[in-house]
Amino acid sequence: MKACVLHQAAPIAQRPLVWGDVPTPVPGPGELLIRVHACGVCRTDLHVVEGELSGGRLPIIPGHQIVGTVQQVGPDVAGLSAGARVGVAWLGGTCGSCRYCRRGSENLCEKAVFTGYTRDGGYAEYAVALADFVYPLPEAISDEQAAPLLCAGIIGYRCLRQCGIDNWPDARLGLYGFGAAGHIAIQIARSRGAKVYVCTRDRERHQKLAEELGAVWVGGVEDRPPKMLDAAIIFAPAGEIVPLALQALDRGGRLVLGGIHMSPIPELRYEDLYWERLIRTVANNTRADGREFLAEAASVGVRTYVRTFPLAEANEALIALKHDAIRGAGVLLV
Ligand SMILES: [Zn+2]
Ligand SMILES: [Zn+2]
């Protein structure tokens, strides 16, 4: 099969993904072979390719927002058969028995495997996934529309939950960074009645899209929203935003950091954190997050804005992502 393989991490400008032929994987017990139709491009892929995360495997085929159809079913798989359309997300497998798994926090599993990071992902014509970790996808939504839901959507959903504003009409929510995750999260947040304030450095694409999607206010990252925020999510991987976002938070407000990697956070002033403000990170997702998000996205009618690239041009897609040149989400078409 054709695939984009990372042999050695390097700055994306050096185009480290190598396009070529590799053996088509064979599904083992509990696994599915999936013919990939589309795979979303995530900032985490950029971190993997540029070597900003530790613990990954090399060589690796990146990509953890896979939409495809089941081509072949491995031994010991029940309930899924060839031809089924499924999605594969970042959480590729968990042990089911560690202290985190046992208490329902499988996102924290000590032995978790991650698609496109510790096992091969979807920048390829075929991918293997554990059947227990794939999601059935509604027929109504196209392959390219569905792909960004599988990480940008699910992680944004988990961030929203950590904001503590689920049942709080008129809650004031700030979003810092407005790429793939932000443009989906705003749709869910608005459907729940929140007023959304967007801070993003890119005026050309991201600020305009935020206005189109109903933000009550849009500004730059250093601009202070006109009202104090009840909660905020930082999707941008920039630690210097943390004190700025804290200063925009109302008493008791929560600040959620949605990325897997962030540049160093500057020293904080206690007075910016005081009044019971909270900062917390989001690590991975549970399968329940995925199922609940996909159901809510379908019922709300979430629409993703995508820019598509041919699979062979994964390097170009990641370069565009790095330079804020994608409106909405990037998706590779196979
Ligand atoms: Zn576990
Ligand atoms: Zn991702």
The overall average pLDDT reported for the chain is: 96
The pLDDT of residue 30:
97
- Neighbouring residues of the ion ligand 1, judged by CB less than 5 Å: 94-95, 98, 101, 109
**Band of residue 93 on the pLDDT scale cut at 50, 70, 90:** very high
42 Cα to the center of ligand 2, angstroms: 5
Nearest-ligand number for the alpha carbon of 94 = 1
Cis-peptide into 138, omega within 30 deg: no
Q: What is the pLDDT of residues 208-257, one digit of tens each?
A: 999 999 999 999 999 999 999 999 999 999 999 999 999 999 999 999 99
CA of 153 from ligand 2 middle (Å) equals 9
CA of 132 to the centre of ligand 1 (A): 14
- Residue 195: is its pLDDT beyond 90? yes
The alpha carbon of 65 and the centre of ligand 2 are apart by a number of angstroms equal to 7
**Ligand 2 centre from 107 Cα, in Å?**
14
CA of 94 to the centre of ligand 1 (A): 5
Distance 37 CA to ligand 2 centre (A): 18
**Residue 19: Cβ-neighbour burial (10 angstroms; 0-12, 13-18, 19+):** middle
Q: Which ligand is nearest to the CA of 152?
A: 2
Nearest of 56, 44, 19, 218 to residue 148 by alpha carbon:
44
Q: Is the pLDDT of residue 191 over 90?
A: yes
Which ligand is the nearest neighbour of the Cα of 284? 2
Ligand nearest to the CA of 91: 2
Percent share of the chain, pLDDT over 70:
100
What is the Å distance from ligand 1's center to 236 Cα? Answer: 29
Does the pLDDT at position 204 exceed 90?
no
C-alpha of residue 223 to centroid of ligand 1, in Å: 42
Answer whether 101's CB lies under 8 Å from 112's CB.
no
90 CA to centre of ligand 1 in angstroms: 15
Q: What is the whole-number distance in angstroms between the Cα of residue 114 and the centre of ligand 1?
A: 13
Give the pLDDT score at 140.
85
* Separation of CA 257 and ligand 1 centre (Å): 23
List pLDDT tens digits, range 49-74: 999 998 899 999 999 999 999 999 99
- Sign for the pseudo-dihedral over CA of 36, 40, 46, 48: negative
The structure's pTM equals 0.95
Q: In this predicted model, what pLDDT tens digit does every residue of 119-144 receive, in sequence order?
A: 999 999 999 999 999 999 988 899 99
